[in-house]
């Protein structure tokens, strides 16, 4: 590991706290770019002794050199603190069993066929004459679902380290073959955990995740207030028949669901952007993106390969944004007729785009 990996990070975060662009960063309203003080070597040793496993090197040095928690991806890094005993503090931390952190984190979750079969059995209200009967059936089904999807065995060897809102969380793996990597927990959207991946589809380590967020945050000030170029960077059964990737922050996710897209759109703060890109095209840029402007309107754009097919519109409706992005990802074209599009290709055209 690079011994200087965290050099200057506290200062870079402090600079963001003092900058106008920092206010445009997703989640900054939660952490305010504040960092806890770093832990001492004795404190880290005590934490490791209590949980019975050595922390991954990148996270261990983060605690020692950057902070025990605070500013970071999404709504920040959950702090490690000691009252009577060491623990992590934040939404969902109780999902981690601190007595089982030395056990290998399971790469494979519930059998996908079993999940699909159980989802197919989810009760529908129209199938019941009495509401009480429907409520009872839902309660029984949810107990079966929780036993399958939310078993404590699914997340041994890992701790909840962050949240992106709406009960979507991120885990840091401490033990097993995925040690040191970040996993995405979208179980609230009926999806199993999956590794967070970069633009090349490779698993993301803690340092890659954090430093990627920091670099993206520092670039936020470059987003124009009138037009956007292709934005950077973080998403689950697909709403897509195309091969697409969702980006909205410092990481990316394949196979977006409509529910996941809706969550990301709902969590946008002024200055935040969300991009859905095609990965199955041979040439050109194929994407749809949205920017939440400072006036709380959504600037929606899509591009089909070349600048001449780059269109823009605005709306105040979050639902219309979701319909457009889900429609584009599905590969259909009917959704376009519901909007008044302006061709802005001239703003982006290069010699390669011109006939």
Of 215, 103, 79, the C-alpha closest to 158 is: 103
Provide the pLDDT for residue 241: 41
- Tens digit of pLDDT for each residue in 242-283? 455 665 544 445 566 788 788 888 888 777 788 888 766 556
Q: How many CA atoms lie within 13 A of 308 on its CB side?
A: 5
Q: What sections of 27-80 are H helices per DSSP?
A: 28-31, 41-51, 57-65
Provide the pLDDT for residue 178: 97
- Tens digit of pLDDT for each residue in 75-87? 899 999 998 999 9
Question: Highest mean pLDDT: which of 136-145, 170-179, 339-348?
Answer: 170-179
- Return the domain boundaries, the chain: 9-96+192-215, 112-149, 225-347
Provide the pLDDT for residue 253: 54
Query: Between 156 and 245, whose confidence is greater?
Result: 156
Provide the pLDDT for residue 228: 27
Beta strand segments in the chain, E? 80-82, 86-88, 158-165, 168-173, 182-185, 194-195, 244-247, 252-254, 273-278, 285-292, 298-305, 310-315, 342-343
């Amino acid at each position: 590991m690079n011994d200087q990996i965290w050099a200057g990070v506290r200062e870079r975060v402090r600079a963001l706290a003092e900058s106008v662009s920092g206010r445009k960063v997703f989640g900054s309203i939660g952490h305010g770019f504040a960092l806890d003080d770093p832990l001492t070597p004795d404190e880290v040793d005590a934490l490791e002794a209590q949980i019975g496993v050595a922390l991954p090197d990148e996270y261990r040095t983060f605690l020692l050199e950057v902070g025990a928690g605070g500013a970071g991806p999404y709504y920040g890094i959950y702090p490690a603190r000691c009252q009577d005993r060491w623990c992590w503090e934040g939404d969902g931390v109780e999902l981690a069993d601190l007595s089982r952190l030395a056990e290998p984190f399971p790469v494979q979750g519930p059998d996908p066929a079993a999940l699909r079969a159980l989802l197919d059995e989810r009760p529908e209200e129209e199938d019941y004459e009495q509401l009480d009967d429907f409520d009872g059936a839902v309660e029984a089904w949810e107990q079966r679902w929780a036993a399958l999807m939310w078993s404590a065995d699914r997340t041994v060897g890992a701790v909840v380290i962050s949240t992106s809102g709406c009960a979507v969380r991120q885990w840091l793996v401490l033990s097993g073959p995925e040690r040191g990597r970040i996993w995405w927990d979208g179980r609230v959207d009926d999806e199993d955990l999956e590794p967070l991946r970069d633009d090349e589809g490779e698993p993301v380590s803690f340092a890659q995740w954090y430093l990627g967020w920091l670099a993206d945050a520092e670039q936020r000030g470059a987003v124009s207030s009138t037009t956007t170029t292709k934005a950077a960077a973080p998403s689950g059964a697909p709403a897509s028949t195309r091969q697409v990737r969702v980006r909205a922050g410092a990481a990316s996710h394949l196979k977006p669901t409509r529910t996941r897209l809706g969550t990301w759109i709902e969590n946008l703060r002024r200055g935040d952007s969300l991009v859905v890109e095609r990965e199955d095209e041979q040439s050109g840029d194929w994407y749809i993106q949205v920017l939440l402007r400072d006036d709380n309107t959504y600037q929606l754009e899509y591009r089909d390969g070349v600048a001449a097919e780059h269109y823009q519109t605005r709306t105040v409706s979050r639902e219309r944004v979701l319909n457009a992005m889900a429609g584009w990802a599905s590969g259909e074209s009917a959704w376009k007729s519901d909007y008044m599009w302006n061709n802005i290709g001239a703003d982006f055209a290069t010699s390669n785009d011109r006939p």
